[in-house]
Amino acid sequence: MSEVVKLAVTGHCAVITIDAPPVNALSAAVRRGILENVMAANADSAVQAIVIACAGRTFIAGADITEFGKPPQPPALNEVIEAIEGCAKPVIAAIHGTALGGGLELALGCHFRVAVADAKHGLPEVKLGLVPGAGGTQRLPRAVGPEFGVKMIVSGEPISASEALEHGLIDEIVEGPADGAIAFAKKVVAEQRPLRLLRNDDSKLVAARADRSLFTAAAAAATKKNRGVNAPLACAEAVSWTLDTPFDDALKKERETFLRLVNDDQSKAQRHAFFAEREAVKVRGLPKGVKPRPVERVAIVGAGTMGGGIAMSFANAGIPVTLIETGEAQLTRGLAMMQKSWEATAARGGIAPDEPAKRMALIDGKIGLDNVRDADLVIEAVFETMAIKKEVFTAIDAHAKLGAVLATNTSYLDINEIAAVTERPQDVLGMHFFSPANVMKLCEVVRAERTAPDALLTATTMANRIRKTPVVVGVCHGFVGNRMLAVRGLQGEALLKSGALPDQVDAVLTRFGLPMGLFAMGDLAGLDIGWRSRQDRGLRWDIADAICESGRLGQKTSKGYYRYEPGSRAPIPDPEVEKLIDETCKRLGLTRRAIGDQEILERMIYPMINEGARILEENIAARPGDIDVIWLYGYGWPVHRGGPMFYADLVGLKTIVERLEFYARSLNEPALKPTALLARLAREGSSFASLNAARTAG
């Protein structure tokens, strides 16, 4: 008998319970257990109805993703679902937690579905680069109608129990999943309700069969919104088969599409991202038994864009915040900005109308650093200058309570140096949020030399509590993300000198899938930031500096690497910039040449990968997967490309090493030479994936 699936008969109802922690994924053992028990219950003459329920925190959360790409083990999920459909007795799915992917597909094969009020239902396969592979594209539209069905499948977003009831996905909302399902089963038996098989029920498809335009629109929207990504369009297409393809043929086509996509690099990248995120949040190397410190109130120092966004993230999670500024005007401006942002979200229907007031009530605006005294976690988000940071930390040290964790949101600065001005360096670390901080998921948690393990764990725990993805990194200039970004910036400057133009470079990057090009991003952020930082460090970038010196500071001056029409943020290539680049190069005695897109891509991405390898050599990041998560959640790296280190494996490390050596030689840039780690992995025929596995296990 199955270890993970149990059968119990109470009265005339058989209850099949799946107990496969953590999320009851449909491994081969679970599939086998369900099949055996469904057949046994169906054959038992004392049984009048069958309930399928789950133990633990959730209903089945989908196929077991770790099995993908390995030789398939019987029985297939479709076989299990067919056995359920073939039962002569009513089969009822009892849903709690999340019925996702194959879990929802199995529920859709049941004759009835009931769910508790806070259950969620969805087919998120598209987020793994897949189409649902066990009938979801055919049964869900028959349950909820093709228009809502295609929306759910192409977006992958789950719906609540009340929406599921409204759209006909479930039959009833119940109090307890198994008990509620048993009570529902009794009703079904007593009323002799006919067994409903979605495969035979085309009632909701009639209108769409007469007018297919909804699918043409869904396919067009999927293509437009997900440029270069295969799964959304495949999902829309698969749902359209409900209109004209016999059910079993459509199931076969769906399965073929699933198998094609599961072996596609895009799905591999998205599955890598799924697991890398879950690994990244686990902090390794902490002493046994270490616990996070309790945090009830947070103080944020600085109510500017960054401080305000961080404060909003805490208030969004219901955590009280003391927001500290140096003067009334700054504080009032900061609070007003937050209120406006929440009100805009409420107006869009993103939060309930009373939420902005509730969240504002959690923010206590104060003047003066002595107000950090009640906070268990203090996050400094003031101007990015070492002298100011030191001054602020000296004051925080004087007023913060004993044991409070003291975090800086610095993007570049040496946190060891900041910690050294306090009497408690063990409590000091970095929490580097990304702009806009209330939206972006990433938080680089920077472990300084003397950071105590429980302080570190407090920071990652709090980041999780505010629904961020924390990745632990070490101290260096720019940490992981910005350090790699700086390398890309330098290569952008070099590409302009070689002969490329800003819009050509940016087009290559956006075609690759990044949300913005390098130069458009610079214009948006303001070019003076980098200019000032280069001046501080005694660096000169001839073209970037010439652009700034001519008064072009980006969008704020309507001119930067591009020009901007009044009131518009759309970058327009500007012949004046080309002239400026030409003149600068002539002055330097450089000859510009035509540069191809492949060269641009290589010179933009491969040096970043090389820097990633250097970061791993220095143990600034623990695993290649952590670097990928940083780029996915902090910089909009396209998830279907898995992150820079995953992408490196796809290209092949040998190729990357060869190209870097070529550029180091031909451009006379020794900094482009492959790092020792990258060169070794390439020589050994190894990959970042192997290094990831080794460092995860170790």
* Catalytically active residues, by annotation: 105, 125
Q: Does residue 134 interact with ligand 3H9 by CB under 6 A?
A: yes
Three-state SS for 580? Answer: helix
Torsion angle of alpha carbons 413, 419, 422, 427, nearest 10°? 130
CB closer to ligand 3H9, 122 vs 502:
122
Q: CB–CB of 282/76 below 8 Å?
A: no
Q: Which helix (H) or strand (E) holds 30?
A: helix 28-43
CB closer to ligand 3H9, 62 vs 180:
62
Q: Does residue 126 interact with ligand 3H9 by CB under 6 A?
A: no
Q: Is the dihedral of CA 157, 161, 167, 168 positive or negative?
A: positive
Stretch 275-314: interaction string toward ligand 3H9, x if CB under 6 A = x--x------------------------------------
Residues 241-280 that bind ligand 3H9 (CB under 6 A): 275, 278
Q: Does residue 125 interact with ligand 3H9 by CB under 6 A?
A: yes
Span from 85-93, 127-135, 189-197, 201-209 in contact with ligand 3H9 (CB under 6 A): 127-135
Minimum Å distance from CB 321 to ligand 3H9? Answer: 25
Q: Does residue 463 interact with ligand 3H9 by CB under 6 A?
A: no
Q: CB–CB of 608/484 below 8 Å?
A: yes
Distance from the first to the final alpha carbon of the chain: 36
Q: Does residue 64 interact with ligand 3H9 by CB under 6 A?
A: yes
Span from 17-25, 173-181, 287-295, 381-389 in contact with ligand 3H9 (CB under 6 A): 17-25
CB closer to ligand 3H9, 64 vs 523:
64
Q: Does residue 124 interact with ligand 3H9 by CB under 6 A?
A: yes
Stretch 365-394: interaction string toward ligand 3H9, x if CB under 6 A = ------------------------------
Total residues at interface with ligand 3H9 (CB under 6 A): 25
Q: Does residue 114 interact with ligand 3H9 by CB under 6 A?
A: no
Taking the C-alpha atoms of residue 346 and residue 333, their distance in angstroms, rounded to an integer, is 20
Q: Does residue 481 interact with ligand 3H9 by CB under 6 A?
A: no
Is the peptide bond between 436 and the residue preceding it cis, with omega within 30 degrees of 0?
yes
Minimum Å distance from CB 229 to ligand 3H9? Answer: 16
CB closer to ligand 3H9, 104 vs 419:
104
Q: Does residue 105 interact with ligand 3H9 by CB under 6 A?
A: yes
Q: Which helix (H) or strand (E) holds 416?
A: helix 415-419
CB atoms within 10 A of CB 328: 10
Taking the C-alpha atoms of residue 384 and residue 14, their distance in angstroms, rounded to an integer, is 64
CB closer to ligand 3H9, 278 vs 579:
278
Q: Does residue 35 interact with ligand 3H9 by CB under 6 A?
A: no
Q: Does residue 102 interact with ligand 3H9 by CB under 6 A?
A: yes
Output the DSSP codes for 462-476: HHHHTT-EEEEEE-S
Q: Does residue 149 interact with ligand 3H9 by CB under 6 A?
A: no
CA-closest candidate to residue 502, choices 576, 567, 430, 443: 576
Q: Is the dihedral of CA 112, 236, 150, 98 positive or negative?
A: positive
CB closer to ligand 3H9, 139 vs 359:
139
Binder of ligand 3H9 out of 2, 37, 98, 692 (CB under 6 A): 98
Q: CB–CB of 334/304 below 8 Å?
A: yes
Minimum Å distance from CB 254 to ligand 3H9? Answer: 9
Taking the C-alpha atoms of residue 326 and residue 302, their distance in angstroms, rounded to an integer, is 8
Taking the C-alpha atoms of residue 400 and residue 378, their distance in angstroms, rounded to an integer, is 8
Binder of ligand 3H9 out of 7, 31, 33, 62 (CB under 6 A): 62
Q: Does residue 634 interact with ligand 3H9 by CB under 6 A?
A: no
For residue 144, CA distances in Å to 111, 165, 198, 203, 205 come to 15, 9, 10, 10, 10
Minimum Å distance from CB 600 to ligand 3H9? Answer: 35
Q: CB–CB of 449/383 below 8 Å?
A: no
* Residue 316, burial from CB neighbour count under 10 angstroms (0-12, 13-18, 19+): middle
CB closer to ligand 3H9, 59 vs 434:
59
Q: Which helix (H) or strand (E) holds 431?
A: strand 428-433
Q: Does residue 674 interact with ligand 3H9 by CB under 6 A?
A: no
Range list of β-strands (E), 262-413:
298-301, 321-325, 363-367, 377-380, 405-408
Question: Which position has the token pair 């029920």?
Answer: 201
CB closer to ligand 3H9, 107 vs 580:
107
Span from 60-68, 217-225, 353-361, 555-563 in contact with ligand 3H9 (CB under 6 A): 60-68
Minimum Å distance from CB 31 to ligand 3H9? Answer: 9
Span from 95-103, 363-371, 428-436, 619-627 in contact with ligand 3H9 (CB under 6 A): 95-103
Residue 444 gets the label, from left (phi > 0), alpha (psi -120 to 50) or beta, of beta
Q: Does residue 180 interact with ligand 3H9 by CB under 6 A?
A: no
Taking the C-alpha atoms of residue 698 and residue 688, their distance in angstroms, rounded to an integer, is 15
Range list of β-strands (E), 449-576:
469-474
Binder of ligand 3H9 out of 66, 332, 385, 655 (CB under 6 A): 66
Binder of ligand 3H9 out of 90, 109, 129, 132 (CB under 6 A): 132
Minimum Å distance from CB 435 to ligand 3H9? Answer: 25
Taking the C-alpha atoms of residue 258 and residue 251, their distance in angstroms, rounded to an integer, is 10
Q: CB–CB of 136/114 below 8 Å?
A: no
Minimum Å distance from CB 22 to ligand 3H9? Answer: 4
CA-closest candidate to residue 215, choices 137, 163, 143: 137
Residues 524-553 that bind ligand 3H9 (CB under 6 A): none
| Residues that bind ligand 3H9 in the complex, under the rule CB under 6 A | 22-23, 25, 58, 61-66, 77, 98, 100-102, 105, 124-125, 128, 132-134, 136, 275, 278
